[in-house]
Structure 1
């Protein structure tokens, strides 16, 4: 049997938390080197150290300031990818969900890591400077529930992850009524630690300033394909509006994995801070598949143990 191809998966807003990657930063030379390299750019463009922000508070506090969380997620994901690549575990494809599309494109060679980092910062600035506050709510139910007026009239469908999990985006004023109705229906949900209604019309005021800030961004054909969760397709070349569409249009993670499984098997490695995509993938993999999924990092610690497990099980490319 042919070996499984390796997919690096990168998650987006809502997967971050304070102290993420702290042990790897302390003990892993590769992770620390790349975090410091990217933090130098953060200091130049943001005027402060993102590493200091990540390590400044406890995990239980909400890490929802977009100017900080946007570059923090990108830095952690890219540094984690370099940890694997420099130890011989290389991806065959890179999958990006929402903000994770920046790391996916950079690792796949469609854009330099420095240009991607600058675009991440520019997007965060566009959101903070032009959008009203909002949030996203993850809902553990059949996505068909979205057709109910209490959701469809107050929010937009932001993501469909698998048959029992979807997310909506809404402005601040709509969040409490939605959550009240979900409680009344005994539907489990979680408000994500984000400050804006990503993947909805409420972030559209940021489109023009972000486009202006990234008009000269070189973007195109890279060394590896990118699995686009906005299109649920595998792309060899990225369009110029790729990074905007990735955060504006709904995330079709379930459809993207289904598309890949038609040509599997795959080894899905989740390089996001929370390991959420690995969990979603477990619900999506068809019975009898040889595909596997593993997380590299979770909020519960043991990042070094998870890294060792992946290195032990993955076949170097």
Structure 2
């Protein structure tokens, strides 16, 4: 029987919250070192401290300022990946969902981590400069619901995560209307902590500014396969427009996991802030799958225990340098 391949999964906007990764920041030298290093770079590029903001408010406060959430999500994901690697938990593939594609590509060697953070900051600036406010709603229902008029007329299909979970993006003025219908029909939903309608035409005005900035950033062949949720497939290289397409095109997470499952058994490790992708995988897997799912960081205060459990389960492999 072949050993399960390890997939590091990086989530995007909507998975962030104040205090994310605080246990590791306080207790783990590798995590703290990378967070600090990237924070220094963010300050040099954009003139603001990200760490101070992330750890300045309670978890319950809304954290949706893209100037801070964009780099914070990247920093936490990349630092956590390095923390896992230092413990001998090495990825065979990386998977990026939306903004998480930056950290996934950096860990897999397609882009330098410092360049990736610079691109993340530039993308955030392009949204703030060019786009009108909008939002996203996660809906617990069959994605076929999107074909109904109240959704299709007022929103864009932003992604399908598994058979009973999808997300839509909409103008700010339409969010309450959509939620009113969902509430009336007894359909579970959650408005995500985002200020823009990602994965829709409502962010198109930011493309030119961001794409221009990417022309100066070198891309490499990479050392690991990269699972792209914008295509629902495994890639061996990335092109110049990759980092725009992953936030513009719908998230095809369900298809991406199906593509991996067709290739064999995997160990899916969520390297994002909230453990959301681990939950998505759990519901996306068939009952016959031998694959496993693992959350690391969550809002529930078990970060150190989750990390210790993962390290105890790690399969010994020769240490390599990634990212």
- TM-score, scaled to structure 1: 0.99
* 1:3-23 Cα shifts (integer Å, max 9, x gaps): 100000000000000000111
Q: What displacement does 1:284 show?
A: 1.2
Please name the residue that 2:29 is paired with.
29
2:224 is paired with a residue whose SS is strand
Residues 23-102 of structure 1 aligned to structure 2 (within 5 Å): 23-102=23-102
Please name the residue that 1:297 is paired with.
297
Q: What displacement does 1:220 show?
A: 3.8
Kept in 1: contact 2:18–2:54 (CA 8 A): yes
Kept in 1: contact 2:140–2:187 (CA 8 A): yes
Please name the residue that 2:246 is paired with.
246
2:52 is paired with a residue whose SS is helix
CA distance in 2, matches of 1:24, 1:78: 13
1:7 is paired with a residue whose SS is strand
Kept in 2: contact 1:90–1:316 (CA 8 A): no
Aligned CA RMSD, in angstroms, stands at 0.7
1:304 is paired with a residue whose SS is helix
CA distance in 2, matches of 1:308, 1:45: 34
Q: What displacement does 1:54 show?
A: 0.2
Please identify, of 212-221 and 172-181, the stretch whose mean Cα deviation from structure 2 is larger: 212-221
Please name the residue that 2:166 is paired with.
166
Please name the residue that 1:277 is paired with.
277
Q: Verify: 1:229 aligned to 2:229, yes or no.
A: yes
Q: What displacement does 1:316 show?
A: 3.1
Kept in 1: contact 2:88–2:314 (CA 8 A): no
Moved over 3 A (4+): none
CA distance in 2, matches of 1:32, 1:117: 16
Please name the residue that 1:7 is paired with.
7
Unpaired runs of at least 5, structure 1: none
Kept in 2: contact 1:221–1:237 (CA 8 A): yes
Unpaired runs of at least 5, structure 2: 318-323
CA distance in 2, matches of 1:89, 1:283: 24
CA distance in 2, matches of 1:264, 1:238: 24
* 1:187-212 Cα shifts (integer Å, max 9, x gaps): 11000000000000000000000011
Residues 118-129 of structure 1 aligned to structure 2 (within 5 Å): 118-129=118-129
CA distance in 2, matches of 1:244, 1:225: 19
Q: What displacement does 1:44 show?
A: 0.8
Q: What displacement does 1:313 show?
A: 1.2
* 1:221-267 Cα shifts (integer Å, max 9, x gaps): 10001000000111010011000000000000000000000111000
1:42 is paired with a residue whose SS is helix
CA distance in 2, matches of 1:312, 1:247: 35
Residues 108-257 of structure 1 aligned to structure 2 (within 5 Å): 108-257=108-257
CA distance in 1, matches of 2:206, 2:159: 20
Q: Verify: 1:314 aligned to 2:294, yes or no.
A: no
* 1:49-94 Cα shifts (integer Å, max 9, x gaps): 1000000100001100000000000000000000011111110000
Kept in 1: contact 2:96–2:104 (CA 8 A): yes
CA distance in 1, matches of 2:48, 2:218: 26
CA distance in 2, matches of 1:26, 1:170: 38
- TM-score, scaled to structure 2: 0.97
CA distance in 2, matches of 1:245, 1:316: 36
